Every structure is written in structure tokens, then in C-alpha cells.
Chains A and B, each alone.
Chain A
Amino acid sequence: MKVMPRATIGWHVPERSEGRGVPANHALRGAQGRATERDPRSTNSWWGSLHSTHPTVSARPALLLLVIVMAGGNVLPAAAGVKLDVYPREIHLQGASAQQRFVVVATRADGVTEDVTARAKATLADGKRARLEGNLVRPVGDGHTTLTVEYGGQSAPVPIAVAAAAATRGVSFKLDVMPIFMRAGCNTGSCHGSARGKDGFRLSLFGFDPDGDYFRLTREISGRRINLALPAESLLLEKATGAVPHTGGKRFPADSPYYQTLLQWLETGAAADAGEVPKVEWVELYPPQMVLEGKGVPQQMVVRATYADGSQRDVTPLALYLSNNDNSAGINAEGLVTSANPGEAFVMARFSTHTVGSQVIVLPAGASYTPPDEKPVNYIDELVGAKLRKLRIRPAGLCSDEIFLRRVSLDIAGRIPSDDEYRRFIGDRAADKRARLIDRLLERKEFSEIWAMNWAELLMVHTTLDMSYKSVFLYSNWLTEQIAHNVPIDRMARELLTASGGTFSNPPTNFYQVEKDTLKTAENVAQVFMGIRVQCAQCHNHPFDRWTLDDYYSFAAFFAQIGRKQGEDYRETIVFDRQGGEVRHPVRGGVMPPKLLGGPQPDVQGKDRRAVLAAWLTSPDNPFFARSIANRIWAYFFGQGIVEPVDDFRVSNPPSNPELLAELARRFVEYHYDFRRLVRDICNSHAYQRATRVDGELSAQRNFAEARIRRLRAEILLDCVSQVTETKDKFQGLPRGAHAVQIADGTTTNYFLTTFGRSPRETVCACEVRTEPTLSQALHLINGDTVEQKIAAGGLISRMLAEKKTPAAILRTLYTRCYGREPSADELRRLLGLVARQKSEKQALGDVFWAILNSREFVFNH
């Protein structure tokens, strides 16, 4: 997010120095605690403690500002400390028909924003240059002037530049007519944008093919759709205004500007655009962020498009608006946001091929909030904390040592801590024992195996007709080695993307053997390494993102020159750069030069195109790679990504905490893509170490205010069952006793793993791993052959009984080895009573073991 300039902020520091606030005491959670939270001074005391003790704060003025703004609570009266923003910040008017709306936003010291456009006083310095119609600026004469907006004792100047004020431009098909089709919904998939059109008339979906649309409108059925002799009687207009029966109904009235534009176009001969029409380069949506307090608070949005020729245009009436959470903030067709229930929403505007969005936070009116008194461990806590304060959410406390030990062991090593590990950790009194435990776990080979498995899922490592088990085995081993040897992820990605040679002799070449289709390869690369799903753009411009057909096919061109031939061993394929082959545009048919997704068109002459792509993809400047990988790593430890789903980065699916994601990505690059360091940061943060809450709420989890209860993944659950029962599994192609996380081949079948949603590795989608509970999972644990047989096969109870252990000691062992905790006195008493009532001690203890393995506490990481 943008940092507000220091000078304009309502900056109230003095309270800090008073130091008289009650320390925000996390022990005070009762009525008294709540009363304390209501005490406005407590926020400042919290701030005081933060400032005085946190060493990094002084180095982070930007962050500090944010903290102040968000932490300020309702300390200040709304009028005081107002920051005034006018959007857009400067106005360019070109041509006689140009116009530009502006909105005035006042930000209170507590961060709450208000649309004060109607209340603000706006004056133009020079009426010969421009004129004002409400909040609309129109050109009068060429030159420069300034719009001054005043509100609440503050003023903000907006420079205005007017050019070609006398020049009129005819109606352009691409610039003026096409946007109306989108705005009026004519070219959506359910209307004429359908692949077969609607009621005999087809438009390209979301206007990906303007030339085709022009043809169909004017030439496909001569004299039907448009009538140049009597333009107003054109079917185009009559249908759109509902003058004749239209399945889509009336789209706009005859007195609307849309109608006028179309009519004018028809009256001037419905000409096609002569020559190249400038493309929309980018679109801005204002204001970029809103914090609305209470229900029914409005905020008008302004959308401005900038074209390739540098001209700008107010497209507020032409854009399409959408909110991802109407429950908190809806947006109407005119771009007016209205707050509803407290929460977070993302409002979007779509114009041309661009979708842009702004964040809306809706706070309850008049609610009080006290941020927790907790020292952030690292940047993660700072940024998570900042967002929580913004949303006025109090995080949960830290989890107990027992829970932390089990959680982090399962997350990093995929194992439940052994009895011994448990006792050593609980007995350890050192302050940094959690950090040391994390370091120890990161060195374990299981960590490499789990991440090799995660990558193998993304890279679809499984046998097919073209992929022998040997290929799969070598590929999987290669992945494990990369992680075991701490090969930076960027290097690993480069090796995968640029791999040449035999699928046996150089296993990363299997990347190009798993998927041989050029287009799908490009899609997979975008999804795996950039978290972007470009699939939509294969057939039409992405409806909720910026990707166009051109982007798609130009990106695919990087993979057009991959050659494959059979190796000497028929199971092996040699992958090579054949230095020939192109991708053609499906509509225009021309050869698409390789162009980076959201990047420039690089020089690929005489180079392996894949190498050019890989260098760009993994360069620190790439906006997607580090973010996408950091998000995946984060998601693994929190059960959800900052962007969720983790492989669906798009404008309309914004990160829940953009600052956090950006910082994680920045650190990841700074760490030279050593993801162990990132994992270390994550696991050491309080955000990771939070307790779960029984009544956990979505918004709190989405912003990492509390830990999420996660069912163990299939492989890890099976390994844990085998671990605690001391049994060995046999998987095809692996020696007896191998772990499920080591399975190389996605097609390896095992009833347990399939039931618990193991990824079949058929697509790159992160959604292939299923952790939703099902009835068959429960039934399998209850009476399937895994738990029962493993308890019997492991012989653990018999062994402990033979060692003359008491039932109480055995029960304690079962609890620590399965739950990572001692049984409570009550649990122990009741279980001992149960055991005593049974004839066979062994049977009874076996039943307890069975019950433990069937319990939610065992099956979930919490």
C-alpha cells in the first residue's frame, strides 16, 4: 500500500510521552479488560511500549505511520487531523469532448475515510482553461490551470492541463462503440459473447476481437443490424433500447449517452477505425483504499484510462463495477460504493482488457478497539498486526509449548514428536527453545521430502504412457536432492525451465515430458511459478484480470521450440531446443513473438527461448515469482495463502495482506531464494504460534489472527499412524518402511491415501490435495484395515505390558506419542477406570489406542 506523506497526516504523538496509559494487559480479559480496551489511552500506551522497546521501529518510519494511523482508535474527533485527498491527483483534458470527474476523500486520523466531494469547495484558478460542472471538469481552452479543493480547513491543489480543447473527434468504433458493448453487457458469455452468439448475432467475448465484431455488425448480414439510411431504425439501437423485442431486454434508454454515441457512429457512416487505434495501457480506480465506518456510507469511485498515446480519459460511466463482498460493501453500476456490514471488500472496475481494484474496509460504527500488548517477533508480526489493527481484530494468544511442538513438528517434518523429543522440549527452560526446535527440524531430511512432495504435486510427477516409473523416480529424487541441498528455488526453477537432455540423464527435463502440449506448458509455467491462471485467455481476454489472447499466445511462444525425441532406452525422451517453431494467433493467424507475461518483448534471436524466460521469471525484479512461491510456503504453514487459492493471483483476487506478501517476497529475494530462511521467519513469528480459537471466525483466520485447525494431509497422516503404531508401509517401487511422503509416483494407489485426498498429480492445480473430511475417511479410520491392523501389527501395547509398565504409564505414553501432551488428570482417571473394568488389560489399552487414533485431536494439526 502507499505510504501517506508525513506532512498530511494527523500525527498526534504527545500522548506517547505521557506514558500514563494502562499497559494493555493480556491477563485482563474479563469485563475489566474490556473496559480497559475502551480506554482510548490504552492504545497510546501500547504504542509507547512498542516504540520504546522495538529496535526496528525507528528504522521503519513508514511502518510507524501506518501503525499510528491504524492504531489511533477513535481517539480523535472526526474533524480534527483530517487528511484531504483529491482523485485523480492531476487532470489531463484532451479534445473538446474530454471530461474528468474527481472525488474528494477525507481521511480521519483514525484512518476512516469519507467521501466529501459534495461538501468540499472546489475552485478553478482560470476559467478560460476549464470549467466546473459539479465534480466534472471540462475543457475550455488550451493551457494549464489548477483546481483547488478545500475541506475541513485543508486544501489540496489539482493541476489541470488542457490540450486541443477545440478539436473534436468522430466516434471511433474501438474507442467508443466497443466499450458500450461491454458496459451494456452485450458481449458477455450469456449474451452475444457466447461462442455461438445469441439469437443469431455473435460478438467476441468481452470484445477480444474488435475487427471481427465490426465485421459481424456491419457486413455479416448486409442491411440487417445497422441501417445507415435511417440510423435510428438500426436493429442495433432498437434492440438495445428495447424498441423491438430483445431477449436481453432493454440495455439502455434512448436518452442515454450510450445511445447517443451509437447513433452518432451510425450517422457518420458506421466507419471502421482508420489505422491503429491507441490501446488502453492502464486503468486507475480511485480512491485506492477506503475505510468506511458504519452502514450505508457512500463513496463514489472514479475510473481513468490511459492510452498508449499518453492521452487520458475519464471512463467512469463506461466501466463495469464489481465487488467481491457485497455483504460488506456493494458497488452499483455508476461506481458508487456503499458500506454494509463490517468486514473487507474489494471493489473492481473493468474497462477494455483491464481490471483494477480498491480495498474497502468497513468498520462498525462507534466500536472501540484496543490492540494487544505484544511485541512483534519479526516483520511478519508487524505486518500481520498492522492489518489486524486496521480491521480492529484482536489476535489470539500464543499456543502452549505442547501444541507448538506438535504443530511445528508436523508442519516442518511431517512427524509427531517422539516421547523423547516431547520430554526434552517440555523440560527445556530456555527462552529460545522454540527457535532452536525450528532450526533442528529444518535440518531433518523429512523436511526435504515433504517439500519434494509438494513440488512433485505442482509438477505433476506421475507415470503416464510417456513417463516410465524410472523417469518419475529420478525426477522425484532430483526434487528431493534440490531441497536437501538447499538449492535456491530460483535456480531450481531455472533448471526445470531450461532443462535439455535425457529424461533419465537429466531428470528436470521431465518437466517437459509430463506435459508436451505447448499451450498447456505455458499455462502450467504461469500457474506453478507465477501463481497466475491464464487459461481463460486461450479463447478470450481474461474477464477478471489483465491477460489477453495476445499475452497468452506470446507467452506460449517461449515453449514453441521444444524438441523431443526418443532416447536409446525407449522409456527415455531427449528434450532439446530445436530452434524452430512458432505459435500463431488463433484469430489473426499471425506468428506471435515471445513476450513475457506482464513484461516486455525480449530479444530471443539465436537464444534458447526458455532460457530468456527463465532468466526473467527468476530475476528479483519479477513481480510474480517470489510472491507466488512465498505465498505457497506461507499457505503450507497457515492452511491458507495470503492469496487464496495460492495459484490464482489476479486483480480480482487480491491478497488479504498485500504488505505482508510483498515483504515476504522481498525477504525471499534477499535470502537468495533460500526458502528454509523464510520458513524459519514464519515459524518463529507469533502469527504462526497463535492458539486456535473454538469460535474462530473467517475474517480473523483470513488475516492470521488465530491458528487454523487443519486436517493432516493424507501422506502425513498415514506416516503418523505408522509412526505411532511402529509399523512399516510398503508402497510400490519403494523399499518396505518407506514413508508415504517419499512416494515418487502420483499414480501409486493406496486406499488410505486416496480416501484422505492424496493428490493424483494430474494437474498443476494446488486444489488437487483434498483435506476436507468425508464420511469414508471416518469409516476407514473406525473400521478400515489401517488403524486396527497397524495397532495389532505394531504390537506396541503388548511390548509395553511386557516391559511391566503400568496402565497409567502406558496411557501417558499413548497420549504423548499421539497428541504430544500428557493426559489431563480427569482423562487419566476416566481411562484408568475404563481399563480396570475390562477383562483384558491389553484389549482395553488397545481400544484406547484405537480411540486416540480415531480422535479429531490426532487427525488434525491444531
Chain B
Amino acid sequence: MPSRRAASGRHVLAGNEHAYPRLRRVKACHPIASFRTIFLGFALLACAAPAGAAEPQLGLILPCGGQRGTELDITLSGERLGDARELLWYGLGIGVKRLAADAKHPQQIEARLAIRPDCPLGPHAVRVRTSTGISNLMTFSVGALCEVSEVEPNNDIEHAQKIALGTTVNGVITNEDVDCFLVVAKKGQRITAEVEGLRLGLDFFDPALAIMDTRRFVLASADDTPAVWQDAICSILAPADGNYVIELRESAFQGSQRCRYRLHVGSFPRPLAAYPAGGRFGETLEVRWLGDAAGPWSERIRLPAVPQLDFGYCARDAQGMAPWPTPLRLSKLRNVLKVEPNHQIAQATRFQAPAALNGVIAQPGDVDYFRFAAKRGQVFDVRVLARALRSPLDSVLTVLRSGGGVVAANDDANGPDSYLRFTAPADDDYIVQVTDQLHAGGPTYVYRIEVTPVEPQLTLGLPEREAFVDVTVPVAQGNRMAALVSAQRDEFGGKVDLEFKNLPPGVKVETEGITEADGAAAVLFTAAPDAALGGSLVDVIGRATVGPTRLEGHLKQRTSLVRGQNNREVWNQYTDRMATAVTRAAPVAIEVVEPKAPLVQGGAMELRVIATRRPGFDGPITLTLLATPPGVSTTSSVTMAGGELEASIPLTADGSARTGPAKLIVLGHVAIDGGTVVVASRFAKLEISEPFFRFTFPTVTVEQGQAAELAIAVAKNKEFTGTAKVDLLGLPAEVTSQPRQLDAAAKEIVFPIQTSGKSPLGKHRALLCRAVVTVAGEPVTHLLGTGELRIQKPTPAKPAEAAKPKAAVAKTAAPVVKRLSRLEQLRQARAQVAAAPQGRKP
């Protein structure tokens, strides 16, 4: 497969990496300027100049977007940005002319952007790379229209802010705010308003739009337009020459300072759907744009030849172009278009699978049919793409036999979109039927149904170490960092090899690939001590062999930008590369002391970690495991106290832990100026083995105040030398025992148990043995159990003669191999009582 993407459009700061550029003065009129002076004062008072802190945080970019073909100044505010070096752009078309960061003002940096005239419209994902880390991801929106800022007061029609048609307004909707904008239009002129609110990825902002005449008659209104999620598009053809007002508010008057918006107002076209909504890689597709106020029109579009994440196209006509791309599906499937009439099964449009079926549920209650032939046993995936392509359709998919019997049906497998897999039960014609769940329909109810044989697919991911914090890989100079790469496999097994393209110079990568048994693989990144500070977006490629074909998959990383109640995800940004950077040397390095002895199933181990500290650094180091092998668990973290150089991480393996070699990586987290630097250990090999022996516990019953013996049967699994020290744990209060030694040949281990008159009555089921074998000088701890001890009330005093034989039994029984169960003991005692001379009076 050809390279998926050229190098990112990033701009590296010129000059010495260690020389901080001077803070550039921003324009006095910028709304942020006044705030800045306030916290500038705070910063000077509160802290001495930090040397650059790790874990930079980006909170807001203002303005939230810009016009392409222009240069503009932006302010990026957040935390620990004082040593910013670079803006890492995931898309093409935005260059950075200047980046001004000042260690004294870590909460804000400024940049001058140069947006190329051909820069794609819509969101551009960006991270800030600093000397010590990589920030979270945010988006910056690029538009085609000239930009103005909202000017309050503009809360009603009388105070509407006058703007020209063809303007993008950057503004904010605070609590219960209403923003009004006045435009002048000629009769028949298209007035379109589109707001980017939620799509800016800042807050759960749900804008609502209306276009009114100056007498307050609402000509069009929109709250949630499916084409743009919770955002809104509103469009009319002006009924007369005159003034029109665009009103923007939060749909339930619940704005906030983070409810920023970009409102595009103009005569530009704004279709709500494309038909067909996709085509083959590299083909020139005739697309019919639907849902525009001025009616449909067609445009020929050359589709990209290679896969692109979330591909879309901004519709154009003589009046301009839409401000946001309409999604188009790229695939290798042939398009089949619905042929009218198509209202009954008999009129089904015929096609040959595989194919992409395209149509529109144009009227309420409309049902569309397609017919194809399949052989018995053929398996097909039938996937509806409707909401995925921002169609209002809520599909219901049914596959029927030619005679009408339902073979399979689905409603909402993929959100509101339907998906099903079915096996053809016979050689027959099959009907694919699609309709709207609410029996709705309309000109923009476009769908695309992909009917394909089952095909293997691979997508890579970066599992988050902390919920909703997307993974980046900042590698300190002369140190290591690690990440997990996961594989989402469809229809194939086997190993996935990993390749990392476009790593920063001086960074080496080490991984064993993703085995079939594991969903993810640990990847270790090492930066040479002399590696230059720098960053890149790394293309992570997974490769697998599936039968005769080689399968390739790429990274799809989700960044959760906006979440609602209970952290429900509302707005995510997907990216296809992994942000990696070489950062300044970290103050610590950690190593795992590779255990020589194995960790046994059902056993425990202390994993020793040794730290090397840079002189002068004695902060605590928090240690975590990047991942644990299946069946092995550990605590969430262990803290190596300040100044210490060693710590142990407890590992325990459950009885079913996978045996064999495993590789561990320990991460060390150190706090520097409020941020965290993370370093990784090397891979440490850990052998997980079966236990050396297994214990079988009998249930022992004893009366309060009596002694008993717990004889545990020992079955040896594995040879060992020397003796094992065995402790009996889990005894209730007032019950004691003694440790025992177990030699390699022993078949049984016997613990004396002594109770007192106060030993708690009842069943004590938590008896456990800790057996420690020494291998290569290291302890191998087994935790073996569990057994049960029953403590009973003493039986009433028996005749004196009865006690005798019991004592005799105990005496003689001890050396005898055969041990008596409680029941046997009782039977024996009874037999003896019965056999004793009759002492009773007649």
C-alpha cells in the first residue's frame, strides 16, 4: 500500500532549542490581553521561573479558527507550556511562522500561523510539543471566509451586529446569551448560516440557529442538524431585498465561557447530504448535492487513491464552498444506485455482490429493495452507512429470501446504523430491504449499504493508561518510554508485526509484535543520550499474514474532547498517527532487577526496581507496570520514597496464570513543577511456571482447648533442591501452629494445631500455606490453599475409662500412616465405649 500521508505540516522553531524566544506582545484589542496581564502578575509572584515542566496541558486556542490563505496570531493557553517548541499538526496546510513561549508565563503561548490557500477546511488536530513533553490534542478550525469577532451587546434584533454575507464570526455564548447578526441580502439570494459549536471540541455546547426577518418572523430555524451532529445549519433564499437577522443561542439557554462558536454566514452552498455518499479509491465521482436551500446540483469529484481517515469534501458552486466537508465513504466497492421504481420487492434493483448500494429514503414510509444472487453457504457482511455519513436516516435493515422469508434483520448494531452478517441458506436470490425506523423519509435520507464477503481487517490502537487521556510517547534523552499498541482484529488470527515510521531521529523501538493470544503488545522506545529534542507523528503499521495475503492496518487513535454526564463521550477526534518526541533528559532512570526465579501459579513475588537519580533530584518515584501478563496482578502503583533508590512491586499470579516467559516494563513517574515525566525500564523477563508442589488440605475438626494435627498431602510438580519453608496462615484467633520444613521427598506435611478454650467456634475456611522454595538464591513463594478448620464445643465429660482408649489411640495413631477422620474417630470412640465393661447398675 502506498504511503498514507506525507509529513505533517509542522513548523519547527528555528534556532537554539534551549534558547527561549521572547514573549511576543499580542494586539491590545485581543480579548485575552486583559486576562493575560492579570495572571502574568500571579505568575511572577507565585513561582520562580520553572525550568520547563513536563506534561504540558492545552486548554484553549483563541481564536478557535482562521481563514485559509491568511496569516494570523493565535493564543494557546493551558498549563506548563512555558518551554513550548513546536506545534504538531496532524493535517496539511498550516504553517507556524513564529512560536512565542516564555518560561515565566507557562500558562500561555502565542503563535503566528500561516494557513495555506489550499488548506483543507474543517478541524485540524494539533498538539504542543515542549522540551519536556507533548500536550493533549485540540482542534483548530480552518474556514474559507473572512473572520470577525463577536461584539457584545448583540442580544436582540435591535442590537444585532452587522456583518457582511461571507463572514465567519468567532464568538462565545455565555449563560442565557443570545447573539444576533444582521446581514443584507437581495431577493432570491441564498443566506446560509452554519455554526461550529460542539465541533470545536471545547464544551458540550448545543447551539441553535434561526434566520429571521426584522419583524421577528422566523424564516428558518435549526437546533440539531444531523449533518453536523448537535450543531446547526440554517438556510433560506431571501424572500425580498432587505435585512435579515441570524440568531444564535444555546438550545436551552445554558451557555458558558467555553461555549465558543464559529458562525459562518454567507451565500455559500450548504448541502446536507451527498448522493451517492461514496465511491472507489481514485475514481471521479459524480456527486449530487442534496438538501441545499437553492436545490440540488451535481459536482464531479476526484476521490483520493489511498485511504484517508474521515474523508469528506466541501461542496462548491458559483457562490463559494461549504464551510465543512460532507463525509464521503472511500472503498474498493462498485457503486450500485437504486433504480426507480423501487417500492416493492418485485421492483428491487438487481446487483452482484460485493457492491455498495446507494439510495435515498425520499418519502416518509418509503422502503427500498435490492436483489442479488448468492450460493448456499456464502457469508456476507451487510453494513448500512447512513448516520455514519451524517444522513438523518435511522435505518432498519432486513435480508429476505426471494420468496419473502426473513433471513436476517438488524436495527441498530452500529449506533443507529444497521449491520448484519448472514449465511445464505440456499442458492437463491436475496433481497436487501432498508427503511427508516420511524417511517420517516426526506430528500437527504441518503444511505449506502456495503454488501461484502467477510474480509479480515486490522486496526491498531493505543490503549489509554488513564481514562480519557490519550497516549503520547515523550522519550527523555538517554532514557526510555513505553506504550501499548493494541490490535482490533476482524476475522483473522496469528501474529501482528509492528512497524513505526517517521520516528524522531535518535529514537529506537523494541517490540515483539502482537501475538494472537494478546490483544496488545508493549513497545519500548529508547532515545539516545545525544538525540536532538524533536517530535514527530509516527505512522504505526501492523502487518499480518492471512492465508496468501498480507494484511496491513494502521493506527486509529481516539481523543475524547467533550464528555457529558457520567463521562459519556460526546465529541471525539480521531487521528492516525502517534505523537512522539525526544524530550529533555529526565532526572531519573529506572531498571528492573530481572528475577532469576520464576513466579509460580498461585504464588507471589516482589519485583525489585532500582532507580538512578540525577544528583539533586530526590523526589518520590511512582512505579507502575505498563501491563501485566494474563493472570498476574499487582497493586495500582508503588511509590519509591524521595531519596530512595530501590523499591519492590508485589506481583501475584492466580492459579490459571499463563505459564511461560513474559516481558514486563515498569514505568516510573516523577513530578516536576506540577507535571509528570514518565520513564520506562527495559524489558524484564519473567518466567511464570507451574507451582513446585500442590497441597491437598483435609478438613480438621477440633474441640475447643484440644490439639489436633493438620496433615496436608503434598504432590510434587517440579523438582527442587533443599527444603521449603512452609507457614500455616489464616488461623483464627486463639489457635496456633508452628512453621514446618518440607523436603523434596516429603509426601505430607503435618502442622500441629493448638486451640484454647476461647478459640472461636465454627468453620474457619481460610487456612493457607505459604511455602517458599529458594531458586538461584531467590525465594519462590507459593500460596497454597485453602483448608478448613472446624472448632467445636467440647463434648460433655465422658466416663474416665472412655478417655483412656482415646489417649491410647492418639498415642498409637501418631506414628501410624493412617490418619483418622473426625467421623472415624467418633466411631472408634463409640465402639470403645460399647466394648468397655458394663458398669451400670441393673
Question: How far, in angstroms, from A571 to B565 measured CA to CA in the complex?
Answer: 9
Indicate which residue in A469, A472, A568 contacts B415 across the interface (CB closer than 8 Å): A568
Interface of A is mostly: loop
Are B412 and A474 closer than 8 Å at their CB atoms?
no
B206 interface residue, CB < 8 Å from A? yes
Which residue of A474, A574, A734 is within 8 Å of B438 (Cβ)?
A: A574
Contact A570 B568 (CB under 8 A): yes
Q: How far is the CA of A194 from the CA of B100 in the complex (A)?
A: 82
A571 touches B440 (CB 8 A): no
Residues on A with C-beta less than 8 A from B230 are: 569
Q: Which of A472, A473, A571 has the most CB of B within 10 A?
A: A571
Measured between beta carbons, the chain B residues less than 8 angstroms from A535 are none
> With an 8 A cutoff between CB atoms, is B497 at the interface?
no
* Top-3 shortest CB links A-B: A473-B252, A470-B252, A735-B176
Most buried by A among B223, B253, B415: B253
CB pair A734 B253 closer than 8 Å: yes
Which residues in B have their C-beta under 8 angstroms from that of A505? 223-224
12 of the cross-chain contacts (CB-CB < 8 Å) are A469-B254, A470-B254, A474-B251, A474-B252, A504-B223, A504-B251, A505-B224, A568-B415, A569-B224, A570-B564, A574-B394, A733-B254
Say if the beta carbon of B684 comes within 8 Å of chain A: no
Closest chain A CB from B224 CB (angstroms)? 6
- When distances are taken between beta carbons in the complex, the residues of chain A under 8 Å from B253 are 473, 733-735
Known interface pairs A568-B387, A735-B178; 15 further A-B residue pairs with C-beta atoms within 8 A, sorted by A's residue number: A470-B206, A473-B252, A474-B251, A474-B252, A504-B251, A565-B412, A568-B229, A568-B416, A569-B229, A569-B230, A569-B570, A733-B252, A733-B253, A734-B176, A736-B176
B633 adjacent to chain A (CB < 8 Å):
no
Least CB distance, A581 to chain B, in whole angstroms: 15
Q: Which residue of A lies closest to B223 (CB)?
A: A504
Q: Which A residues lie within 8 Å of B229 (CB)?
A: 568-569
* Chain A, range 608-646, C-beta contacts under 8 Å to B: none
Residues 408-424 of chain B, each 1 if its beta carbon lies under 8 Å from chain A, else 0: 00001001100000000
Q: Are B254 and A571 in contact (CB under 8 A)?
A: no
In the complex, what residues of A have CB within 8 A of residue B176's CB? 733-736
Instruction: Check: A501 CB closer than 8 A to any chain B CB.
Output: yes
Q: Is B440 a contact of A501 with CB atoms below 8 Å?
A: yes
Min Cβ gap B376→A in Å is: 31
Chain A CB count within 10 A is highest, among B226, B387, B416, for B416
Collect the chain B residues with CB atoms within 8 Å of residue A568's CB: 226, 229, 387, 415-416
Mark each residue of chain B from 549 to 586: 1 if its CB lies under 8 Å from any CB of chain A, else 0.
Answer: 00000000000000011001010000000000000000
Please report the C-alpha to C-alpha distance between residue A733 and residue B254 in the assembled complex, in whole angstroms: 6
Q: A608: nearest residue on chain B (CB-CB)?
A: B439
Within 8 A of A (CB), among B216-265: 223-224, 226, 229-230, 251-254
The distance in angstroms between the C-alpha atoms of A705 and B394, with both chains bound, is: 58
B832 at the interface (CB under 8 A from A): no
Kindly state whether residue A500 has any CB partner on chain B within 8 Å: yes
Report A-chain residues with C-beta under 8 Å of the C-beta of B251: 470, 473-474, 504
| B438 & A576 in contact (Cβ 8 Å cutoff) | yes
Q: A532 CA to B830 CA in the complex, in Å?
A: 77
The reply to whether A501 and B224 form a contact with Cβ atoms under 8 Å apart is no
Residues on A with beta carbons closer than 8 Å to the beta carbon of B223: 474, 504-505
A residues near B437, Cβ cutoff 8 Å = 574, 576
**Residues of A548-598 whose CB lies within 8 A of B:** 565, 568-571, 574, 576
A500 and B564 contact, Cβ closer than 8 Å, known pairs A474-B252, A735-B176: no
Interface size on B, residues (CB 8 A): 24
Mask, A651-686, CB within 8 Å of B = 1, is 000000000000000000000000000000000000
* Most central of B206, B437, B564 by chain A CB within 10 Å: B437
Question: For the complex, what is the distance from the CA of A472 to the CA of B223, rounded to whole Å?
Answer: 15
Residue of B nearest to A472 (CB): B252
Chain B positions 175-197 with a Cβ under 8 Å from a chain A Cβ? 176, 178
CB < 8 Å neighbour of A500 from B254, B416, B438: B438
CB-CB < 8 A to B564: which residues of A? 570-571
- CB neighbours (8 Å) of A469 from chain B are 252, 254
Interface residues of A in 725-752 (CB under 8 A from B): 733-736
List chain A residues, Cβ under 8 A from B394.
574
Shortest Cβ distance from residue A28 to the other chain B in the assembled complex, whole angstroms:
57
The chain A residue sitting closest to B394, CB to CB, is A574
The answer for the CA separation of A70 and B673 in the assembled complex, in Å, is 94
A571 to B178 Cα, complex, angstroms: 23
- Asked if A501 meets B438 with Cβ closer than 8 Å, knowing A571-B564, A574-B394, the reply is yes
Q: Which of B385-421 contact A (CB under 8 A)?
A: 387, 394, 412, 415-416
A504 touches B570 (CB 8 A): no
Q: How far is the CA of A468 from the CA of B224 in the complex (A)?
A: 15
Bound together, the chains give a CA A585 to CA B252 distance in angstroms of 42
A780 to chain B, nearest CB (A): 27
Distance of B386 from chain A, by nearest CB (Å):
12
Interface residues of A in 484-522 (CB under 8 A from B): 500-501, 504-505
Q: How far apart are the CA atoms of A468 and B251 in the complex, in Å?
A: 12
Instruction: With CB as the reference atom, state the residue of chain A lying closest to B250.
Output: A470
CB nearest neighbor in A for B155:
A735
Residue of A nearest to B411 (CB): A565
A571: chain B residues within 8 A (beta carbon): 564
> For B438, what are the chain A residues with a Cβ–Cβ distance below 8 Å?
500-501, 574, 576
A472 surroundings in chain B (CB, below 8 A): 252
Q: Mark A830-854, 1 if CB is under 8 A from B, else 0.
A: 0000000000000000000000000
B485 CB, min distance to chain A CBs, angstroms = 30
Q: Complex formed: what's the CA distance from A733 to B224 in Å?
A: 19
Q: Per-residue 0/1 for A462-484: is the Cβ within 8 Å of any B Cβ (1 yes, 0 no)?
A: 00000011101110000000000
By a CB distance below 8 angstroms, the chain B residues around A500 are 438
Q: Which of A352-401 contact B (CB under 8 A)?
A: none
Q: CB-CB < 8 A to B254: which residues of A?
A: 469-470, 733
Determine how close the nearest CB of chain A comes to the CB of B608; give it in whole angstroms: 47
Tell me the complex Cα distance, A206–B407, Å. 51
- Bits for B788-831, please: 1 = Cβ < 8 Å to A, else 0: 00000000000000000000000000000000000000000000
For the complex, give the distance between the alpha carbons of A734 and B437 in Å.
35
Smallest distance from the beta carbon of B830 to chain A beta carbons, Å?
45
Most chain A CB within a 10 A radius of its CB, from B224, B415, B570:
B224
Q: Given the complex of chains A and B, what is the CA–CA distance between A576 and B439 in angstroms?
A: 10
With a cutoff of 8 Å between Cβ atoms, the chain B residues found around residue A470 in the complex are 206, 251-252, 254
Contact B570 A570 (CB under 8 A): yes
CA distance A474 to B252 in the complex (A): 8
Q: Closest residue of chain A to B569, judged by CB? A: A570
A472 to B252 CA separation, bound complex (whole angstroms):
9
Q: For the complex, give the distance between the alpha carbons of A397 and B252 in Å.
A: 48
Contacts of B387 in A (CB 8 A): 568
Across the interface, name the chain B residue whose C-beta is closest to A569: B230
Q: In the bound complex, how far is the Cα of B254 from the Cα of A568, in angstroms?
A: 20
- A569 / chain B contacts, CB cutoff of 8 Å: 206, 224, 229-230, 570
Contacts of A734 in B (CB 8 A): 176, 253
0 or 1 for each of A200-241: is its CB under 8 Å from B? (1 = yes): 000000000000000000000000000000000000000000
Expressed in whole angstroms, the Cα–Cα distance for A849 and B416 within the complex equals 60
* B391: min CB distance to chain A, Å: 12
B64 CB to nearest A CB, Å: 21
Chain B residues near A736 (CB-CB < 8 A) = 176
Residues of A within 8 A of B565 (CB): 570
A474 to nearest B CB, angstroms? 7
User: B224 is contacted by which of A504, A565, A576 (Cβ under 8 Å)?
Assistant: A504
Q: Which of B72-126 contact A (CB under 8 A)?
A: none
Contacts of A468 in B (CB 8 A): 252
| Complex Cα–Cα for A469 and B437 (A) | 26
B159 to chain A, nearest CB (A): 14
Q: How far is the CB of B174 from chain A (nearest CB, A)?
A: 12
Distance of A568 Cα from B412 Cα, bound (Å): 11
In Å, the complex CA distance between A500 and B224 comes to 17
- B178 contacts which chain A residues (CB < 8 A)? 735
Q: Which of A716-774 contact B (CB under 8 A)?
A: 733-736
